[in-house]
Amino acid sequence: MSDAKTAIDVNALLQAIPYARFLGITVDQRGNEITTVLHFSQRLIGNPVLPALHGGAIGAFLETTAVAQLAFEFAGAGNGKVVLPKPIGLTIDYLRSGKPVDTYGRAEITKQGRRVATVRAEAWQEDRSRPIAAAHGHFLLQVAEDAAAS
């Protein structure tokens, strides 16, 4: 495990993003692995009849999970400065209704180039083997020097 991974607090990074804070997303960081948590709130309900989580909240949660994983993996790429990756494209597969409970997410970087990374993320509730949604996305990576120049 690199020193950069121990130096970054992904939870504090996400709390600096207003929409992640509004949704109630936090990060459980244990060693070399992170799990994001979408804490249930009534404002996340999209269908009050079922009740079921709003698809937009689930999609935003999966995107945030992917961004958190990328930030965690590449924390030291720019002299210790963290530059959040920018989404290029994101596809979400909704697999089942999200119940009104906490939702968990994990992401895996499936391919990484110099400028673009491909990430797969999954969200689940009670049973990790039964995901409620999955996402596949491409993200633009920037190092701190590149971000300062633009």
Q: If you compute the radius of gyration of the chain from its CA atoms, what whole number of angstroms results? A: 15
Give the pLDDT score at 101.
Answer: 98
C-alpha distances in Å from residue 102, one per residue of 2, 58, 63, 74, 123: 31, 11, 17, 27, 10
15 pLDDT higher than 70: yes
Average pLDDT of the residues of the chain = 89
Q: Which domain holds residue 90?
A: 3-149
pLDDT digits (tens, 9 = 90+) for 77-130: 555 566 789 999 999 999 999 999 999 999 999 999 999 999 999 999 999 999
C-beta neighbour count of 65 within 10 angstroms: 28
* Dihedral over Cα of 85, 89, 92, 98: its sign: positive
Give the pLDDT score at 30.
Answer: 86
**pTM value > 0.85:** yes
61: helix, strand or coil: helix
The number of CA neighbours under 13 Å toward the Cβ of 15 is 6
pLDDT digits (tens, 9 = 90+) for 24-63: 999 998 888 999 999 999 999 999 999 999 999 999 999 9
5 pLDDT higher than 50: no
Phi then psi for 10, rounded to 5 degrees? -65, -35
- Please provide the DSSP assignment of 62-107 as one string: HHHHHHHHHHHHTTTTBTTB----EEEEEEEEE-SPPPSS-EEEEE
Give the pLDDT score at 142.
Answer: 81
Domain count, the chain: 1
The number of CA neighbours under 13 Å toward the Cβ of 115 is 3
Cis peptide, bond prior to residue 131, ω within 30 of zero: no
For 16, residues 6+ apart whose C-beta sits below 8 A from its C-beta are none
CATH of the domain at 48: 3.10.129.10
